Amino acid sequence: MRFATYEYRNRRQVAVVEEDGTLHPLPAVGSLTGLLEAGGGLPGLLDAGSAVLDVPSGPHLSEVRLLPPLQPPTVRDFVTFEEHVEGVRKSVDGAAGVPARWYAAPTFYFTNPYAVYGPFDDIPMPPGSSVLDFELEVAAVVGKEGRDLGPEQARDHIVGYTVFNDWSARDLQSAEMKVGLGPCKGKDTATTLGPYLVTADQLEKYRDADGFLRLALTAEINGEVVGKDLLSNMSWTFEEMVAYASRGTVVRPGDVLGSGTCGNGGCLAELWGVRGEQDPAPLRPGDTVTLTVEGIGSVSNTVVRGVDPLPVPTARRRSRERP
């Protein structure tokens, strides 16, 4: 089942989306996140969706503005593709290979849940950046609360999947990570989610013998394909990622966990690292990035001019006087 959040006649609604684009709104449901928080996990979501299929439908998909399928309380972004790590590491800090520590656990960082954009929204250039990049990912969405989960338990906590574009200001990222923290502002201004939340049961037919989802991934800039990969080239499954995220803490309904960027052109920085030059060029206003994931759908965003950064002073050298 596919769920969408959309705006129609100045009203926000959640609906089940049929293959022909027919929308079946869920009455009295203001947000998909709220529906997930109400409980029931995947069975509860499927029951809510099934209940509206036999009632009069709403507008057609072509008549509405699609919003992000949900507003997540947290967004964790992992880095699970070895090929991506090789290329981007060389591009961002000039180092070769993959850090040995990467192989030990599925590393992630928290990104900004307040900067989530819809599948066809314009994306402003980050303030102060001139080296903008996209990142092709898939995200799992948590459907019920869990703590200290094992991978088998974690499967029951994943309610569905969506396309994830982790927009990245590479010049800001490269500079700030020299401090030994981050990424910070390099990843802070935009994340695309959409076009739908596809429930986990819909993608089971793509699962391979090792537990990975074998989905084709494609990235295009202005209609030209720049990257192709398989989601099954991840080094950890989503269940293992959820289990690791829940270690010593909780995952809650609506939490989003990104796969990390795929290889073979899943972002420009990887290609720059492999080729030794910025080819293709960094994204500019007017460029349109389209990311397609088999079984889920496509998001397509156009870069537009952003705002100029307001000045913040550099650090002052202080006396280190003590009371």
Summarised one tens digit per residue, pLDDT across range 55-88 is 888 999 999 999 999 999 999 999 999 999 999 8
Domain assignment present for 196: yes
Looking at the structure, tell me whether residues 103 and 237 fall in a common domain.
Answer: yes
* 13 DSSP β-pair partners: 6
Looking at the structure, tell me whether residues 179 and 259 fall in a common domain.
Answer: yes
CA-CA distance, 116 to 70, in Å (whole number)?
A: 9
Looking at the structure, tell me whether residues 99 and 45 fall in a common domain.
Answer: no
With both helix axes pointing from N to C terminus, report the angle between 82-93 and 268-275 in degrees, rounded to the nearest 10. Answer: 70
Q: What is the mean pLDDT of the chain?
A: 96
Domain that holds residue 165: 75-304
Looking at the structure, tell me whether residues 127 and 193 fall in a common domain.
Answer: yes
Question: Which regions of 2-82 does DSSP assign to beta strands (E)?
Answer: 2-8, 11-17, 23-25, 65-67, 75-78
Q: What is the CATH number of the domain that holds 204?
A: 3.90.850.10
> CB of 167 within 8 A of CB of 261?
no
Percent of the chain topping pLDDT 90: 93
Looking at the structure, tell me whether residues 177 and 238 fall in a common domain.
Answer: yes
Domain assignment present for 230: yes
Which residues in 56-91 are b (16+ Cβ under 10 Å) and which e? eebbebeebebbbbbbbeebbbbbbbebbbbbbbbb
**Total domain count, the chain:** 2
Among 67, 101, 116, residue at a domain's last position: 67
Domain assignment present for 295: yes
Q: How many CB atoms lie within 10 A of CB 263?
A: 25
pLDDT tens readout for residues 107-158: 999 999 999 999 999 999 999 999 999 999 999 999 999 999 999 999 999 9
Domain assignment present for 21: yes
Distance from the Cα of residue 300 to its chain's centroid: 13
> CB of 184 within 8 A of CB of 176?
yes
Among 67, 97, 119, residue at a domain's last position: 67
Among 67, 85, 118, residue at a domain's last position: 67
pLDDT tens readout for residues 268-282: 999 999 999 999 999
Looking at the structure, tell me whether residues 100 and 239 fall in a common domain.
Answer: yes
Looking at the structure, tell me whether residues 105 and 80 fall in a common domain.
Answer: yes
pTM over 0.85: yes
> CB of 232 within 8 A of CB of 217?
no
Q: What is the pLDDT of residue 94?
A: 76
Domain assignment present for 38: yes
Looking at the structure, tell me whether residues 213 and 300 fall in a common domain.
Answer: yes
